[in-house]
Structure 1
Amino acid sequence: MKEQAHFWRHPAVPGTDLLRAHYVTHRFTRHVHDGYAIGVIVDGVEEFDYRGTLHRAGAGELVLVNPDAAHTGHAGAPDGWSYRMLYPSIDLLAGIAAELGAPYATPHFAEQVVRDDAVAALLCRAHRAAELGDALAASTLSRTLFARLLTRHATPRPAPALPGEGMRAVREALEVLHGSLVDPPTLDDLAGAVGARPFALLRAFKRATGLPPHAYLTSLRVRQARRLLQSGVCPAQVAAEVGFTDQAHLTRHFRRIVGVPPAAYQRAAGTYKTGDSLLA
């Protein structure tokens, strides 16, 4: 089966993207999402490293990835894997959790691979309805899906494992990186800016985010690139605005994290302009 990927915005649930894909040789580089990644393996096996632990998800199993949790993704079998994914925002799931009377603001999934046949079937139904553009069915099924996941598999978000001073340095380093996408500091300069030693900051940063600062910066650039592409900015200009050397550089990292090239993502967002480069 040939590799293919279809990425689009949910027709009726704001803050939610969807992906239907089959991958064989494609590998997702280590990255983080600013929301959740929730899906079901339709066929084959996916392997992914999640915060340093390797997981295998086979046909019928759910994959649950929390926001800002570093992870990868690649085939765990010769024929690759097929899956259907939803990417809801933190605000969406937190809002549903609040409606359900949950005692926590940010839901957390303690297990990343789950066997729950009823929820897997519901996910497939919601996903297909969204793909067909049936707004009422897609919104009803998707919100029912998220509520079912929260009640069956969510737990309170765990407290940070770092001491206070380490978390302070990481928080300030994150602020610096958010403000310097185009011209980021060196590790030494970043450490100096937050009053930490370089190796101590590197160790604390990786422990808190799952990524070293340079890899986190790449995820951050791709995150901002998605926002710009959704607003209609052409990929070449997006590359310059978020700090990639050119459109090819943007495309390479974008596909490793999102699973589709920028032009395909922009078409799904409905902001693609005829004449833009279709660089894959």
Structure 2
Amino acid sequence: MTQRLVLTLSCPDRHGIVADVTAFLAQHNYNIEESSQFEDRQEKRFFMRTELAPVNDQATPLPQLKEEFGQLRGTDLMCWQIHDLGVKLKVVIAVSRWGHCLNTLLHKWKAGTLPVDIVAVVSNHDDMRDLVEWYNVPYHHLPVTADTKARQEAQILQVMKDAEADLLILARYMQILSNELCTELSGRAINIHHSFLPGFKGAKPYHQAYDRGVKLIGATAHFVTSDLDEGPIIEQEVERVSHTNGPEELVEIGHDIESIVLYRAVRWFAEQRVLLNGYRTVVFRR
């Protein structure tokens, strides 16, 4: 199959960025197959995501393309990356006792609609072992207490290092990560929160929502930071409910929302569609 690359960039906005980038790609014998741009007028910052493929065998090889693009953009204070979409992101999933998000990720991965390589699952409980091993994925049972938290988090990092993982997915992993681990995984950890943030943070958000009589419940996928449930938001979804739905019904409805929201966030991240913009994100959805 033809190699497909994706260029992502963000930089202070100026006239002519798109023209410069497209001219550069044309000169190096690449054809643009998909492109999206966004200008943050408040921050005066420009964002771009471009998928490209070689026109012929004269196209500049990827290592040289990166080197020459870096030289070209060095004066623009530009944050940029060029990825080969054929190289799948390696991910580790962390889970506790709720398996609905984990099951969706494993199913989508096995079906080929989630473009990642799930290299391991870690858990502070053993409940999900049978499910994970059915998919032939290594399962690491890493119990944790207040006294062993630092050692257990070091084990999680070691699993990621050994598997050369790029991303940690918290698929209803009911542990608060330490500030040290959040810093270590900055921009490389995605959490699913079972509520529509910024409302109903912390524990039992569906019960909080029931107590407030809400008519919409939702879920939020966001980057993990040391501020609990405050990381940049990637994706959200809601479902209409009514006064007839009790707390346990809201939990059940919420499980379906959580699963699809986390799947979307991970897929878009793997496709290089998520760019950080301070405390926010730019998400170039299809």
The two structures share one fold, judged by TM-score above 0.5: no
Q: Larger RCO: Structure 1 or Structure 2 (Cα < 8 Å, ≥ 6 residues apart)? A: 1
Q: Structure 2 length normalisation: TM-score? A: 0.25
TM-score normalised by structure 1 residue count? 0.25
Q: Which has the larger radius of gyration?
A: 2
Whose strand proportion is higher, 1 or 2?
A: 2
